[in-house]
Structure 1
Amino acid sequence: MTSALRFIASGCLVLAVTAVAACAPGASPRPVPPSAPPVATPPPATASEAASGWWRIDGAPQTLASGLSAPWSVVPTDDGGALISQRDDGAVLELDAGGEVRAVGTLPGVLSGGESGLHGLALRADGGTEWLYAYHGSTDDNRVVRMPLLGGPGARTLGEAEVVFDGIPRESTHNGGRLAFGPDGFLYVTTGDAQRREAAQDPDALGGKILRLTPEGDPAPGNPWGTAVWSLGHRNVQGVAWTSDGVMWASEFGQNAWDELNRIEPGGNYGWPVVEGDAGRAGMIDPVAVWATSESSPSGIAAHGDTIFVAALRGERMWVVDTAGGELRGEPLAALTGEQGRLRDVVAVTGDALWVLTNNTDGRGDARPEDDLLLRLTMTPAP
C-alpha cells in the first residue's frame, strides 16, 4: 500500500483528534492527541546488549576502503563485510571480508542533485531472503524501496526493487534519509522538511518526521496518530540509534544556530520551525545536547553501550556523548577533530569497533582532492 492511500485512510481519525496549529515562530505547539492508542516501549537494543557502560575511541584509524565517491551509508554484513551507498551515482558497493571493493548494482530511478540521491541502507533477513532497504530521491518524491540481496560474499547482486513507502517530499536540501530497524523489529525512516517548514508541525504531512513502519511499509502498530508518523517537529534528521537501555536517539541539523541530539519519544514534538535548540516551551521537547552549526552538522550516529557517537560534517569531528537514563552523563567530547575531514556515517560493529564514512568528495563544488574512505576505529571502555 502506498503512503498516499495510507494517509487518506487515516486522515479522518487525525482530524478528529488533532487541533490545527500555526507553524510560524510564536505558534502554539501541537499537542499529542489525547486519544492516541497506547504505544509499546521498545525493548533494549539487541545490537548493544553485549556492550554496557561508556566508551572512547582508542588509537589511530585503519583504512578499510578508499576511492569512494559521495558515500552516504554503511551497513555491516554477517560475513564481516559491508555494503556502502553512494549518493550521487546511486551505486551500492560491497566491501568483502578480504578488503576488496566491488559494485553490487545501481538503483534504478535515483534522482541526484544538491543533497538528493541515494541515502540510507538497512538489511533485514526474512526467512531465506536477505532484503536490502534503501532510501532515495526520485523524480517525484523520496521513497523507500527494498530488493533481495542475491549471491554470496564477494559476488552479491541486487534483485528487482519494489517500493515499500513513497510520497516523502524531496528537494535539493533537507531530505533526511536514514533507515534503521529498531529493537522492536520495525523500520524507522527519517525525513527532512524539504524546505517546507510548516510541514514539520503537521502530523498529516511526511516532511520533518521520523516514521515507523512494518517491513512491508504499513504504519507500525501503536504509532501515536495511527499513521506512519512516530515523531514530528524535525528539520532534517540523518541519524538514529538505540543505547543499551532501549532509549532512541536522533541527530538533527539546525538552521543557523543549533544542531541537536534528541531523545525520541513516540508522539514527541521537537519544535521546528517554532523553536531551534533549547527553548523550554511547553508541549515541545528540548534537545539533550546542542552544538553550534560550525562544530557539528550531524549526520549518522551509532550507539555502543550507553555512549553515542555522532558523525559531524561541517564540524569535521566525531562527538562522543555518554548518556544515562536518557540524559547526558558529563559533557560531550570531540574526537578526530580536523583529522579526516567531513564525517557522514558511523556504525558500531562487533568486536568493539566503529566503522566511519568520510564525505569530502560530496559532488557539490566543495570537494577535496583526497578520496573518501571507510575507516575502522577501536573503542575502549571509558575510564
Structure 2
Amino acid sequence: MKASRLIGFLAAAALVVAGCGNDDEPDAAPPTATDFPGAEPPGTGPPHTESPEPDSTTPHVTASPPSTPVPGPVEPTDVEELATGLDAPWSIAFLPDGDALVSQRDAGTVVHVSQDGEQTEVGEVPGVDGDVEGGLLGIAFDPESPETLYAYATMGSENQVVRTTYTDGEFGEFETVLDGIPASSRHNGGRIVFGPDGMLYVATGDAGDGSNSPDLDTLAGKILRVTPDGDIPGDNPLGDSPIYSYGHRNVQGLAFDDDAQLWASEFGDSTADELNLIEPGGDYGWPDVEGIAENDEYIDPELEWPVADASPSGLAYVAQTLFMASLRGSVLWQIPLSDGEVGDPEEFIGDYGRLRDAAVAPDGSLWVLTNNTDGRRDPNQGDDRILRITVE
C-alpha cells in the first residue's frame, strides 16, 4: 500500500461519534455579517448543529518522508470580487481569451463572464432536472476543440455528459456523449476534466447507495475515462469498461498535476473527507472503509479531514499546489505537492462562506466560486460570487 499522510485532529473523534452523514449538508452555523466584508447580515435560517473546532496543533502522521522537499505555502497577493449575483454556480470553464463560462446548477443555465466581470446569460442546457444536489454540474472545454463545451447534468433518472459548440456567444445543438450514470437527489459527483492524454475524466457519485461504488456493473461511485466521443479507450485499466477507478462515495473535484497524476477530492460520510491520488483500476474502499484505513485491500487517501472542516468540491492545480474548495469548511485549502508527495494543508482564503469550485485561468490567476445560494445556508447580499485571486 502506498505511503499516505494523515491530518489528525483531536476533534475528529467527537465528529465520528456524532455521526451524521456528510451529504453536502448545511454548515455547522449560519454566517454572520462579518463573514462577508461589506455584506448585509443574513436572514434567520433553520438551526444548525454546532461542530467542535479542530485542534490544529495536533501533529499529522507521515508514513514516509518525501523524497524531495515539499514547497511551502503560497500567498494570495490580491483577492478581487470579480462578479456577483450568480445563482447556485457550480463549475467554471475558461475560453482561450480568458473569459469563462459558469454553470448554474438549479436553473440549468450557463453564464458568460468576461475578464472584467461582465455577465451575459448564454442559454439553458435542455432537459436538466435540478433536484437538491442534482442539476447542471461540471462543464469543460475540449483543449483540442476549444469551441466544444462538455457538461455533466442530471436528466431525470440518470446523469449524462452532453456536448455542444459555443461560438459567437451562442450554443449549437446538444448531443449526448455518455449516459446511464445513476442519478439521485444526492451524491451525483459531477466534475469533468480533460486529461493531458486528451481523454475525458468523469467523476460520479454513488447515487445515495454505497453498494454501487464497488459494483463494476454500474457507473455510480466511480471515476470514468472515455474519449471525447464517449468511447472506451483501448488502454483503460478494466478492459472494455469506462471505469478508471471505483469505490468512491461522491467525488466532486478532479485535477492533474505537472506529472500528469490525477487527484480527486471526495466527500466522506461522517468520519473523513479525502484527497486521493488516483491509480488506474484502483479501489478506494467505499462503503467498506472511509478515510485512512490502512487496509491492504483498498487504496488509502493521501490526506483526510474531519467532515466539518472540508466537504470538498472543486479542485485546481497551479504553482505546485492543489487548491481545494470546501463547502462546510468555508475555506479554500492549499496543499503543496512535490514528486507526488503532499505537504501540510493550510487555509488559503476564507470569509466568503461555502466554496464550490476553483479553476486556473489562462493568465495563471485562480477563480473561485462561492456557493451560498444553493439552499444550504442563508445567502448574503451579492451572493453568489466569483473571486479572482493572484497567487504568488
TM > 0.5 between the two? yes
Matched, 1:287 2:305: no
For the Cα contact (< 8 Å) 2:221–2:247, is it kept in 1?
Answer: yes
**Displacement of 1:54:** 6.2
Which aligned pairs between 1:286-325 and structure 2 lie closer than 5 A? Answer: 286-325=300-339
Aligned amino acid, residue 368 of structure 1: P
Aligned amino acid, residue 74 of structure 1: I
- Structure-2 separation of matches of 1:87 and 1:255: 23
- Give the alignment's Cα RMSD to 1 decimal: 1.5
> Residues 5-48 of structure 1, C-alpha deviation per residue, up to 9 Å, x if partnerless?
xxxxxxxxxxxxxxxxxxxxxxxxxxxxxxxxxxxxxxxxxxxx
- Structure-2 separation of matches of 1:146 and 1:77: 15
For the Cα contact (< 8 Å) 2:367–2:389, is it kept in 1?
Answer: yes
For the Cα contact (< 8 Å) 2:98–2:362, is it kept in 1?
Answer: no
Matched, 1:136 2:156: no
**Displacement of 1:58:** 1.8
> Residues 140-167 of structure 1, C-alpha deviation per residue, up to 9 Å, x if partnerless?
200000001121xxxx111110000001
Match of 1:87 in 2: 105
SS in 2 for 1:372: coil
Change (3 A) 1:350 1:148: closer
Aligned amino acid, residue 113 of structure 2: L
Matched, 1:243 2:254: no
Aligned amino acid, residue 136 of structure 2: L
For the Cα contact (< 8 Å) 1:121–1:132, is it kept in 2?
Answer: yes
Percent of pairs with identical residues: 47
For the Cα contact (< 8 Å) 2:98–2:361, is it kept in 1?
Answer: no
- Matched residues, number: 321
Q: Which of 81, 92, 98 matches 1:63?
A: 81
Match of 1:254 in 2: 268
Match of 1:360 in 2: 372
Q: Which of 170, 177, 183 matches 1:157?
A: 170
Which aligned pairs between 1:1-383 and structure 2 lie closer than 5 A? Answer: 56-124=74-142, 126=144, 130-151=147-168, 156-226=169-239, 227-329=241-343, 331-337=344-350, 339-362=351-374, 364=375, 366-370=377-381, 371-380=383-392
SS in 2 for 1:184: coil
SS in 2 for 1:67: coil
The normalised TM-score by structure 1 is 0.81
For the Cα contact (< 8 Å) 1:55–1:379, is it kept in 2?
Answer: no
- Structure-2 separation of matches of 1:126 and 1:105: 24
For the Cα contact (< 8 Å) 1:262–1:288, is it kept in 2?
Answer: yes
SS in 2 for 1:294: helix
SS in 2 for 1:255: coil
> Residues 52-83 of structure 1, C-alpha deviation per residue, up to 9 Å, x if partnerless?
96662323410111100100001111112100
Point out 4+ residue stretches in structure 1 off by more than 4 angstroms.
52-55
SS in 2 for 1:278: coil
Change (3 A) 1:214 1:288: same
> Residues 324-363 of structure 1, C-alpha deviation per residue, up to 9 Å, x if partnerless?
222212x1111223x110000001123331000000011x
- Structure-1 separation of matches of 2:377 and 2:275: 26
- Structure-2 separation of matches of 1:125 and 1:254: 31
Unaligned runs of 5+ in 2: 1-69
**Displacement of 1:126:** 5.0
Aligned amino acid, residue 59 of structure 1: T
Unaligned runs of 5+ in 1: 1-51
- Structure-2 separation of matches of 1:228 and 1:63: 39
- Structure-2 separation of matches of 1:99 and 1:276: 40
SS in 1 for 2:211: helix
